[in-house]
Amino acid sequence: MRFLADPPRFLFFTGKGGVGKTSIACASAVRLTAEGRRVLLVSTDPASNVGQVFGATIGNRITPVPGLRGLDAVEIDPASAADQYRERIIGPVRAVLPEDEIASITEQLSGSCTTEIASFNEFTDFLADTATTAAYDHVIFDTAPTGHTLRLLQLPGDWTGFLDAGGEASCLGPMSGLEKHRASYANAVAALTDPARTRLVLVARPQPTSLAEAQRTARELDEIGLRATHLVLNAVLPEDAVGHDPLARAIRDREQRAITALDGTLAAVPRDEIDLQGQNMVGLEALRVLLSDGDERLGTPVSSEARPGDGESVPAPQGDQQHLDSLVEELAAAGHGLVMCMGKGGVGKTTIAAAVAVRLADLGHRVHLTTTDPAAHLDRTLTATADLPTLTISRIDPTEAIRDYREHQMATKGARLDAAGRAALAEDLMSPCNQEIAVFQKFTHLVNQAARTFVVMDTAPTGHTLLLMDTTGAYDRDVRRGMAPGMKFTTPLMRLQDPGYTHIVLVTLPETTPVLEALELRDDLVRADITPWAYVINQALSVTATSSPLLRRRAALEAEPIRTVEAAAPRLAVVPYLAEEPVGVARLRELTSSRVATTAPGT
């Protein structure tokens, strides 16, 4: 594997959600420890599943990985990091200041901005604090999905520039200035931009949308002074696994066309390809095989003579499952409302959201399809919408949101200030914290719009969405404190908690880890009094007619995850793995038709 040849001290794995960053990061750590290196594996994903991969409890403290000498791991937990951050500020003065002032400071430090900064400070410690990482030969970062990671990688430069300009981040509370972090941020920037110290590996699937996202990521990294050094194409279906199966042939050909079409920055980056495995990437044995140089895929011997029917028997999914179309028809009965597709990155939220929006528009409803994912591109999934006049599409772009927010603040609040006051306001608005506020305002507008029409929202991957929910909760608490008894009001959180107004659709894959993460997301939502309305299991091989031994083996693994979702879901739709990528209105309509094509056209 070229991306592991003569590795520098820091290795970053980043890419769109669901491409296998965690598996490859964990497998890389296992391989380096096998070579006698001491390795620290750091997850910056708010929805980390490193512990699940190793079958161990990791958490937010550096913890030895059981059964593997030389490997420690840590999962940066945003909530825990924020608690510790607040306590470092409040603890020393708790016995000195009045109780109401302590409460005020605590509230100022309760928003998502504090959560982001606390996580960010932990991240920079691993890059810049030699005392934390001195014992390790390598530090491997398993990052959050692309949009969240780009934000994280921008922050060292953003905060350094803000401090250089003399700014003081008032959003962090009255006693928590950032000047003391200047050296740490500067060291983090130096480490990130030095190819001798940091290797940045883009991970993608051999699919057009995934590769387009990787290309965009490479370009945006370059814009902030970072250079992607390697590309890993994960889960490539090998030729010898196709046999006589039309579905496998369609998948293989689609993947190879996408790889051949690579151009620009990605075409020049050293590339590794990793075969699709016949087993889930959980446990040390699976991780050791993933990056092995042998000629055997885990659980599936290589054979050039695969025959129809070879491989595992595939039990048909049992239980009360619905077609996606029946879910949409039930939604349509209300005439308006908010539909939020949530889940881990890479499970197909964008596809399912677009299919739901198209079907609602076909049923004659006005529909606004939008995304809160910084890395999402609905225009790639939903093309040629001329025959859907009632459908509009938008995207909450963080860059546009912060620009609009700053302009609005200067035009309203700034209009009442003198020159010195306007200069101070302009400086304060340059704080990176304001981006979360700006995005939340756009989100709130869309939530309220669902009172008159359908708003179908493709949300960011789990961790980023939970931060948005945190902002929503903080705003709700703030509004309630300011209202006199008996006054009527409606906050965005109240809209989300109303099952007649908001329908949460949890999208997942028929695999153990994505299902566990979907259930964890459900628990997080329930704690905020938000109840999921339905679940969608996407890309299920077990409801196709595949005869490929490798695909059948993977299909057989789906039975237990599907049963787990069935036990939890008030409503469940299972969407098959499609021969053709569901891009464009026609193919999206197929997802909500009575018959979904699961073999190649003409077969």
Strand order in the sheet with 63-64: 63-64, 71-75, 39-43, 138-142, 10-14, 198-204, 230-236, 271-275
- Of 24, 589, 594, the closest CA to residue 289 belongs to 24
Alpha-carbon dihedral sign for residues 54, 57, 62, 63: negative
Residue that is written with structure tokens 């996407």 in the block: 538
Contact between 380 and 583 (Cβ < 8 Å)? yes
Task: Report the alpha-carbon distance of residue 75 to residue 521 in Å, rounded.
Answer: 17
Task: Report the alpha-carbon distance of residue 207 to residue 236 in Å, rounded.
Answer: 9
Amino acid 368 reads: H
Task: Report the alpha-carbon distance of residue 519 to residue 507 in Å, rounded.
Answer: 11
Task: Report the alpha-carbon distance of residue 432 to residue 112 in Å, rounded.
Answer: 12
Pairing of strands 63-64, 71-75: antiparallel
- Alpha helix ranges (H) inside 363-461: 378-381, 398-412, 419-429, 434-449
Q: State the Cα torsion 368-371-377-383 to the nearest 10°.
A: -20
Task: Report the alpha-carbon distance of residue 67 to residue 479 in Å, rounded.
Answer: 50
- The angle, 0 to 180 degrees and rounded to 10, between the axes of the packed helices 208-223 and 146-164 is 10
Give the residue numbers annotated as catalytic, written as ranges: 18, 20-23, 45, 513
